Chains A and B, each alone.
Chain A
Amino acid sequence: MSLTYLEAIREAQYEALNTRPEVFLYGQDIGTFGGAFKATKGLSKEFPGRVIDSPISEDAMVGVAIGAAIEGARPILEMQFADFSSVGFNQIVNQAGTLFWRTQTPCPITIRLPSGGTPGSGPFHSQSMESIYAHYPGLVIVTPATVDDAYWMLLDSVDLDDPVIFCEHKFLYYHLKADALGGRGLPIGKARIVRPGRHATVVAYSAMVHEALRAADELALDGYQIEVVDLRSVKPLDTETLLGSIARTGRILCVGESFPWGGVTAEVVARITAEAFHLLDAPPMRLNSKDTPIPYHPNLWKAHRPTVTTITESLKHLLRY
């Protein structure tokens, strides 16, 4: 039985509700309606009283999750779109992110952010927020790129005693399918080498892993073996696996879908430069979206984010150095 990325998220929530009585789901339209993307379809019927519709109040939704966590619950919060989490930003970074440090009270909440661009979604339904949240202490940021990771990392997030920002990519919801669910994979904090290679490393996460793999396919036609690393979680960031890869290839390109000023790709390049300068055969490169709001029209949107073409071009530049 095949399973989409979105179905994996629904199944993981089913599993969490089914196995842990402390789990409940809270979000806009997630009850009978099943959520804007149907990630909670049917769950309110299966688990009465534990899949709760919230008002359109992202700040208060996060506050509620934090209060519930203080009382021993393990809430999973659904933001309708990652973009709207900015309204709950204060509670996420100042309340959830500081609670354990200040009071030694763990804050086991999981905030699901339907992230990233899809054609026609425009500036306010397309954002990738991982870099923003990763900047603040006390938050774990995961960015699953596969069906298995969507499932297992969501369960791992619920099990974790710290607040997790779960960045799930909307473009993968329906496009990405697996024939069956695999076994539990790597823990949060470990990157995975998706495709081994020896000429250059592409570091990516979330939907960009798949674009990177396609770019690697293209360059294979020219005889290059490109290693692709899926970060899986951007905080913690698995520097060790990156350093191992650099030791093999000597060249690195980091690809992210979010805006180019700072962020995950800049952090990766900064760490590689500081810790593996002597292993590098070329200056580390990074590729992000353009530095504008995310455009609405598919023609513009496709050119705004990194694509197979721009990743391939960047890699060629890197390989030529």
Chain B
Amino acid sequence: MTTLEVADADWTPEFGRKYMAAFQVMQRARLMENKIGALYRSGGQVVGGVYLGRGQEAFSGGLGVQLQKGKDIYAPLIRDQAGRVAFGEEELDFFRTYLGAAPGPMRGRDGNIHRGRPKEGLLAMISHLGSMVSVVAGCLLARRMAGRLGDAVGATSIGDGGTSTGAFHEALNLAAVEKLPLIVSVANNQFAYSTPNDRQFACETLVDRAKGYGVRGWSVDATDLAQCLKTFEAAVAEARAGGGPQLVEGCLLRLSGHGEHDDAAYVPDAIRHSRLGQDCLLRAEKQIVARGLASESEIEQWAARVQKEIDAVVVQVAREPRPDPYRERWEAFSVRGMVEGFAE
């Protein structure tokens, strides 16, 4: 297991630029999620639940900024808004899906975080945890077989709870057997919905499992953007260079409920006030100011600009049509001849 510390010497101008870019990704994700959370609480506009990645932006975005859309595969999970922003998913996709607009990638057929554009390398998660790991492995295997993998990687996320599934185990083992360039980030946020880690697994740390699978394991303080960046850069580089799957565990706390319907009263104050409970975005902001990369007012100006963009997108989406059941093509097959007409 590897933990990379970040020393002053790491803060080269190039690292500073990457840090700032990743911070802006995190900031945008936070603002988008704040907006959707507010719309949820005001009622009426959001269709279904809202699931936020608040507190996980450094870990999610830290991976996302290493990936290249058009080349790499990314299967984000529930708390990966920052990773999605970094990968280049459009804000429109986010708001259209959450607000149930007919245009956009899911067209009311699926919602909230279950969105994606598989043909563009952005997979659309299903709810069954662990299920996306093997799908990413399959994408990579097919590309390798077709001789067009190059140095592309596939990345996906999971939480502490998802590592208990058979799907996770099967897929990571398979990816290790095939030595695929797969990065699995495990956001250990201490609770699977309400279940604490001591009811979820009995090993000391989740990254210990890497050894059992024969893959490289990394551990990071996921509230520290600098460490996330340094670690994911190294892990992704290793996967690109043929080092096989990489398991990266990030320790943190989600700073929200499982969904916005959940007040997370089961999280003890002691954990909230521990190092795990630090807000990665505030930490990064302080770091930027302390290192003189930007001033507080500059950061505020960025936020104001992004907020304006977000508000404009929401206004646009609010005016868009909603799906029409009478015009819907109620067909689950791509081949028309396979569709049966059932009496109604």
Contacts and interface: CB of A to CB of B under 8 A. Distances in A.
Given A54-B174, A59-B134, A140 B343 contact: no
B145 A73 contact: yes
A38 interface: no
Label chain B's interface by main secondary structure: helix
Contacts, number: 155
Contacts of B126: 94-95, 98
Given A90-B128, A103-B116, A162 B139 contact: no
B174 A67 contact: no
Given A99-B118, A138-B333, A140-B333, A67 B173 contact: no
B335 to A, nearest CB: 5
Given A55-B174, A91-B131, A106 B138 contact: no
A67 B116 contact: no
Contacts of A272: none
Interface in A72-104: 72-73, 75, 87, 90-91, 94-95, 97-104
A105 interface: yes
Interface in B276-311: none
A104 B123 CA distance: 12
A67 B140 contact: yes
Category for how many chain A residues contact B: 35 or more
Interface string A183-207: 0000111000000000000000000
Q: How large is the interface on B (under 10, 10 to 19, 20 to 34, 35 or more residues)?
A: 35 or more
Interface in A225-266: 235-237, 239
A59 B123 CA distance: 18
A24 interface: yes
A138 B126 CA distance: 15
A1 interface: no
Contacts of A160: 335, 338
B135 A101 contact: no
A22 B132 CA distance: 22
Interface string B92-133: 000000000000011001100010111100011011100111
B170 interface: yes
B337 A64 contact: no
B62 to A, nearest CB: 24
A106 B141 contact: no
Which of B110, B124, B128, B334 is packed against the most chain A CB atoms within 10 Å?
A: B334
Interface of B: 105-106, 109-110, 114, 116-119, 123-124, 126-128, 131-143, 145-146, 166-167, 170-171, 173-174, 177, 331-335, 337-340, 343
